[in-house]
């Protein structure tokens, strides 16, 4: 009986000390910056005032001034009106229709390095009143693609809330 207990003890030690072959490798994790796992993904935003004129070909290009990843999404809003002291922002592009059946479109495009604001449409830009071309205020919001899913991008407050933006750079 003593031998049997000794034999069991030896087998128990051998079995607990043995290691089997390595299993297959697991799946790769999500691409990200090394060492920054669990980092909070934050958005960046800024406001800019632009004058459109013949000298700048009715367009203006602004560099971000911060890092923008290839998967980030840029949204631009134009300050459209003020209602009881509250700014009214509209997601661009925005179209204005004139009585002569022409139109003016405030539009934008973006790259990883900058955002371009420009006028488009069928109206003669040189004949536009200054109210349409000077002192136009835009709010640019760069949103990481991870944050944009399911957000109503036409509502600037929803975008700002989903992206945890609490302050702006004013340029």
Confidence check: pLDDT of 111 > 70: yes
Note the pLDDT tens digit of each residue in 94-104. 999 999 999 99
**How many structural domains compose the chain?**
1
Residue 117 lies in a domain: yes
Quote the DSSP letter at residue 167: -
CATH number of the domain bearing residue 112: 2.60.40
What number of CA atoms fall less than 13 Å from residue 150's CA on the CB side?
A: 4
Range of the structural domain that residue 150 is part of: 44-170
Residue 36 lies in a domain: no
pTM of the full predicted structure? 0.64
Strand order of the sheet with strand 86-91?
A: 86-91, 73-83, 136-143, 44-50, 169-170
The pLDDT value given to residue 38:
53
Residue 95 lies in a domain: yes
The token duo for 104 is: 């003016």
Residue 120 lies in a domain: yes
């Amino acid at each position: 009986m003593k031998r049997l207990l000794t034999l069991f003890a030896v087998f128990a030690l051998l079995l607990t000390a043995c290691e089997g072959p390595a299993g297959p490798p697991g799946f790769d994790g999500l691409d990200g910056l090394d060492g920054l796992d669990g980092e909070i993904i934050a958005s960046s935003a800024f406001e800019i005032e632009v004058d459109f004129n013949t000298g700048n070909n009715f367009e203006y290009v602004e560099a971000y001034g911060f890092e923008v990843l290839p998967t980030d999404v840029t949204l631009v809003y134009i300050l459209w009106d003020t209602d009881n002291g509250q700014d009214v922002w509209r997601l661009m592009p925005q179209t204005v229709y004139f009585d002569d059946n022409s139109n003016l479109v405030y539009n934008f495009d973006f790259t990883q390095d900058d955002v371009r604001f420009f006028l488009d449409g069928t109206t003669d830009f040189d004949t536009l009143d200054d109210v349409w071309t000077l002192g136009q205020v835009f709010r640019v919001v760069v949103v990481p693609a991870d944050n944009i899913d399911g957000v109503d991008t036409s509502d600037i407050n929803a975008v700002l809330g989903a992206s945890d933006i609490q302050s702006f750079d004013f340029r």
